[in-house]
Structures are given as C-alpha cells and as structure tokens.
Chains A and B, each alone.
Chain A
Amino acid sequence: MQPRGRKQVTAIGGIAALAVAVSLSACSSSPSSPSGGSSPTAAPLSGTLNGAGSTFQTVFQQAAISQFKQVQSGMTVNYNSVGSGTGRSDLASGTVNFAGSDSPIPSTETDFNGKGTVLYFPVVIGPISMSYNLQGVSNLKLTPTVIANIFQGNITTWNDPAIASINAGAHLPSTPITIAVRSDSSGTTQNFSLFLQTAEPSVWKLGSSSTISWPHSAHAASGNSGVAQVVKSTPGAIGYVDLATAKASGLTYASVQNSSGNYITPTSASASASAAGVTVNPDLTFHAVWGSGAQAYPITYQSWILVFAKQPNANDAKMLQAYIGYLLGDGQSLLDSLDYAKLPASIDQMAKAQLSKITG
C-alpha cells in the first residue's frame, strides 16, 4: 500500500471581481445665465437624470428623450417604466431624480413623510378606449351605466335591452360578452374604475384602484397590448385599452356618453377637451375623467412627473427644469402623433410657472 499524506489539494479559487461602476453626475458648474426658470435656457447642461414610474408615459418619454438630445446634447435622461407605485417609492428613497405617476400620492402612502415638498408636473393626458370585437357593429354607443353593468357582470349578452335601447338600428347579436381586463396592477385600471366611480357612484360597486376584484368571468391579460390581444382574438369581447394601443392593434372602439349627454369618440382633441373642463387644485393635481364640456371624451386620464422641490445641488435642479420644461413646451407637439393628448393650455401654463419652484 502506498503511504498516504502526500496528496496535494490544489484549490483554484475563482475570484469574482465585482466592478462597481459609480457614475457620478458631473458637477461642472456651467456658465449659467441667471435663469428665470419659466423657459429652459440654452446654456449647455451636462449630467444624467434618472426617472422611473408610469408605464403609460413610456412611449412619450422615449420619444421626448431622443428629441431632447438635440436641445441638450450633454444631458442623458433615462426612464424606467416600472409602474407608478414603484416609481414613487424609488423617488422617495432617492434612487431616481423624478417619478412618473398616473395618480397623486395616496394619503395612505407613507414613503414621503418628512421628505420635503413634492411638486406635481402634469405632462400628458390620454383617452382610454372601450375596444370591442363584434362582427358587423362598427358604431357602438355606450353609457357609463351600461359600461359599469357590463364590467360588474350584470349585462352578459350583446343584445341586452340596455345596450339595444341606445343603439337603435344596430344589429346586436346574442353573443355572450367577454370582459377583458388587466392582470397587472395599472394606472389604466385605476383611472378607468375612477371614471365609473365618478360617473355612476350608485351603480359601480367595485371601487377604484390599480387592481380591481373583477367578476370571475373576466379574461385578464398583462399590459394594454395583452388586453388588446384578448379583445382581438375573442368574438364578443370588450376591454379598456389606451387609444394608442387600440389603434396600433386595429381594434374597433365605442363612443361613450359624456356628462353633457353627447356620445364622443376617443381622440386626442376630445381627451384634451375633457381635461380642460376639470377643476385643478393649487398643487396641480386633478382628475381628467368625466370632465365637463360638450366635446369631452369622459374616460380620459393624466400622468404627472413628480420631483422634490429641494434638489441636492444646483445642477440637478437646472437639469430637471430643462427636461420638464421641454416636456411642457416643445415636447407637447409629439403627443398627437403618439395618440396621447396635449395638456390644455391653461394647465400647461400653470405647470410651466411652477418650474421655478425646483431649487438647488
């Protein structure tokens, strides 16, 4: 037998080098003219702004970020569409410079307690379409009551008298109604349910939230495109889908009765009209649903950029003023082509005036 004890264990330690790239925003004090804050100055700024939040804003943010490069080539803006709730919590914990949110900070959310003033900048509004899949019916009309009853499971077939009475002349089949809803929590769900709660408080029992406890017959899918897919592939389906996605998916959508009693189709213009007819609070929070006005499309919602009024340094404050100023200024012209809607001039002016409240 061989004598033991000469066995060499060669350990090859794999050392994983963790390279942490810390990107510090360059704090080169640019020769800034005394900025009034009302409009972004042409003085070149450099650094990085990180934002996170609302998925509703994603397409607008992407388009605006790429256009903004021509205004401020030294600035990099990133937007991470993680959802409004996560975006707000990222802002509160200081991991991002701004948050995109489809709703004001709820009173039950304690993340911002003692963290300083948060400013609301409305940047975009948009209509939510009632998209449906019904062979041979192209001009469906719906009232808030009917929508509420469909989505509560009280109206279950397309030839229900409640639908037939407001669609005289249309050939409504006896197809069962399949309701298509969001499986993920969403600002679209939040504002769609807010519309029903505002317009029909006595009929709508499911409340308003980013997640609703829908009837069990509902077909749930993820994202606006997921709901659009369900509507497209299911005869007799109806779902709430933002207008841009509904158009891109080639869906048919209904006209909805507004508070003046008119049936209005969702367009950029009719959405702006709804926002123009609502009361705006001093902190620029408002709800664009169920706005007054003869031409207002009632299922319209809004999204804000949230920032802390007090920024850690002057450069961050200037960069935020420049970027948000762009979104409220030239950026607004991008909205129509993306099937969002422009802010009404009155709200846009109030938001621009508030830019100077961001201080370094």
Chain B
Amino acid sequence: MTSHLARADSAGTAGSARALTQQRPLGDRVFQALALAAGLLVLAILVLILVSTAQQSTSWFSKEGITGIFSVTWDPAHNKFGTLTFLYGTAITALIAVILAVPVSVAVALLLTEVVPYRWARPIVYIVDLLAVVPSVVWGLWGFLVFGPWAQRVIYAPVASGLKGVPVLGNLFGPGSNGAVSGTSLFTAGLILAFMITPIVTSLSREVIATVPAIDREGAYALGATRWEMIRGVVFPHSQGGIVGAVLLGLGRAMGETIAAALVIGSSTQITSHLLTPGYSMPAVIANQFGEAFGVFRSALLGIGVLLFVLTIIVNVLARGVVARSMARQRGA
C-alpha cells in the first residue's frame, strides 16, 4: 500500500497534488465526523452501562466485602448475597457447551471446506445458520418442556444408575446427593448452550480454514499426503489461532446467555460436581430474581451483572487478541 502511494505521489499529476494540499471536500469531512461519532457513541454507551450499574451495586459491595461477594451462600431471606455458586454454574455450563460444540463445529467446518463440493456446501451452511436464528427463549422452552423431561427418563436416569459408584464418572454423571437426577440441570443447560454456539463457532472456523492457501494444500497432496494428513499438517497449523478465537467467542456467548439458561438450569444454588443435578448461572439468577428484588438484594443482582459484564469483556478481548495474532502470523508466513 505505502509503496503504491509513494509512487503515485512521485508520479505527481497536477490533480492529485492539489488534492493533497487543499482541505478535503465537505462531504468527506462530514462523513468522517459522523463515523467518528458513531464509533464514540458505542464506546460511550458501554462505559455508561458499566458506570451506572456499578454505581447501583455499591451498597452490595460495601455490605458484603470481597469475601462476602465470593462466598457460597445466596439467601435473600437472611440478607446473604454470595455469588460463588453462580460463577461456578456459569463456568461449568459454558465449559460443557464448548466441549460439546467445538468438535462438532470444527468437523462441520472441515466438511464444508475440504470434503463436500461447493454446491453441496451452500445448503449445509444455511441449515447450520438456521440454528442461529432460533430465538433463545424457544431453545429454553424446548429444553424445559420437551428435551428435559425426555432426557431425564430415557438418558439421565439409566446413565446415573449405571455409573453410580464408578470413581470419576460417577461423580460427574451419577445421581445427586438426594439420589435423583433432573431434566433441568447443569448438563442440560450446557447442551442447549452448545446448540446455540455451534453456528458461530462453525462459521468462524469455516472462514479461517478457507483462508488456507490452495498452494499449501496442493503442495501437501503433491508430497503424497492423504486428505487427513493434509488437514493435520497444513490446515490445522494454519488456522489454529483462528479456531481458538472462534471458540473463545462461543464461550463468551455461552457465558452471557440468559433466558435459555434460566429455563433449563434448574435454579438451585448449589456447587456440585454432579452435572445431572440442578445448578444456577449468573445471567439466570438476574433474570429470575430481579422482578421482586429491592434494596441490597437488587443491588447484588446488579453487581452480578457488572461481574458478568467484566468477565465477558475479558473473554471477548482475549478472543480478538488471539484471532488478530494468528492473522498477523499468517500474513508473516
């Protein structure tokens, strides 16, 4: 780019020299101002949201202190507002979602770019993207009314009784402390979230994989590589960073998902390794309990919002960073 400009300058037609010295036309300046204002507006809205919610949550912060905020007990009837349960639920459901969604998403992305011809890829892309247009409340209701009760009867109960007492698996998928499993549980929430983040992870992975230069692929084939060897040796190293970024963006989405999680997570404030029993997540507790909350209770819910906001921003910034770095590396290579 720069070398092009330099050459154009040195070529020095009279017209372009005048354009450089004179003030830019009015339309240009108005456009720049508008674009800048739009950009700053977005930033200002973000900062204002953060400041105003943080302000409203001060009474919670000052009442509980750091140890209180990160304690296990959430009991509004006795004025105790600790958030550890919700942090745990958010982390564990997002983790389940990522573990379930990423292999599927990457496999679909590879299918679309490496296996099927272009004319077949289009309809598959449409179908995957359709998952993204299903509103989250529909996912939640389906999970609560249809999938949850069915899974409890047909999958969870037999799995739990089969794995009861088995060392690690029994702790994860065995029955809970009361000997039962529930259709609305941490695992159901993670699974629904996995459905919801699959489209975004798939489409980002597909785009990253599509940038692998054809010459590299053909080089690998020329050396006698099979398709899988080519994918392992050329596609993965090339698109690793981008896929990690896609996964982190999916993670951010899963952490912030509210209504679907609120409906299927089971709303029980407990920290448990048993994934088939109810739990709670940060967005879910805000959605569920805000309506009748007042005083410190309300302030605590807003405070959870601030924590969640900060967490998702960190994850998203991390994701952008990883993607940007991998892009830079690709350009350098």
| Interface residues in chain A, defined as those with a beta carbon under 8 Å from any beta carbon in chain B | 1, 3-6, 9, 11, 13, 55, 82-86, 88-89, 106, 108-111, 156, 176, 178, 183-187, 190, 193, 206-214, 216-222, 226, 229, 233
Contact = CB atoms under 8 A, between A and B. Distances in A.
19 contacts: A4-B4, A11-B27, A86-B291, A106-B295, A185-B289, A185-B292, A206-B77, A207-B75, A210-B293, A211-B76, A211-B293, A213-B75, A216-B268, A216-B270, A217-B178, A217-B180, A220-B266, A221-B184, A222-B263
A176 B294 contact: no
B201 to A, nearest CB: 29
Given A5-B16, A209-B76, A211-B76, A83 B290 contact: yes
Interface in B1-19: 4-5, 7-8, 11, 13, 15-16, 19
Contact of A220 (B8, B179, B278, B296): B278
Given A1-B7, A183-B288, 10 more contacts: A83-B290, A84-B292, A85-B292, A156-B178, A184-B291, A211-B293, A212-B76, A216-B268, A218-B268, A219-B182
Interface of B: 4-5, 7-8, 11, 13, 15-16, 19, 27-28, 31, 34, 73-78, 144-145, 149, 176-180, 182, 184, 262-263, 266-270, 272, 277-278, 287-298
Contacts of B267: 183, 220-221
Contact of B291 (A156, A178, A185, A208): A185
Contacts of A218: 268
Nearest to B178: A217
A210 B295 contact: no
Contacts of B178: 156, 176, 216-217
Contacts of A82: 291
A3 B8 contact: yes
Given A208-B77, A217-B180, A222 B288 contact: yes
Nearest to B80: A213
A300 to B, nearest CB: 19
Contact of B277 (A9, A206, A216, A222): A216
Contacts of B75: 207, 212-213
Contacts of A217: 176-178, 180
B19 A5 contact: yes
B262 A222 contact: yes
A221 B15 CA distance: 72
Contacts of A156: 178
Contacts of A184: 287-289, 291-292
A interface, by DSSP: helix, strand, loop or mixed?
loop
Contact of A216 (B145, B176, B294): B176
Given A184-B288, A210-B76, A213-B269, A3 B16 contact: yes
A13 B34 contact: yes
Nearest to B272: A216
A216 B149 contact: no
B298 A85 contact: yes
B291 A108 contact: no
A236 B224 CA distance: 65
A5 B13 contact: yes
B27, B177, B294 pick with most chain A CB within 10 angstroms: B294
Top 6 A-B pairs, shortest CB-CB distance: A83-B291, A207-B77, A183-B267, A209-B77, A5-B16, A210-B292
A193 B292 CA distance: 14
Contacts of B177: 216-217
A109 B292 contact: no
A88, A210, A216, A226 pick with most chain B CB within 10 angstroms: A216
A187 B16 contact: no
Contact of B293 (A176, A185, A233): A185
A85 B293 contact: yes
Contact of A190 (B278, B290, B292): B292
B142 to A, nearest CB: 14
B77 A185 contact: no
B113 to A, nearest CB: 33
Contacts of A233: 149
A83 B180 CA distance: 32
A186 B290 CA distance: 10
A210 B289 CA distance: 8
Nearest to B73: A213
Given A213-B75, A216-B177, A233-B149, A3 B11 contact: yes
A52 to B, nearest CB: 10
A211 B292 contact: yes
A244 to B, nearest CB: 19
Nearest to A2: B8
A219 B184 contact: yes
B288 to A, nearest CB: 4
A219 B16 CA distance: 73
Given A207-B77, A211-B292, A5 B8 contact: yes
A55, A85, A88, A108 pick with most chain B CB within 10 angstroms: A85
B4 A106 contact: no
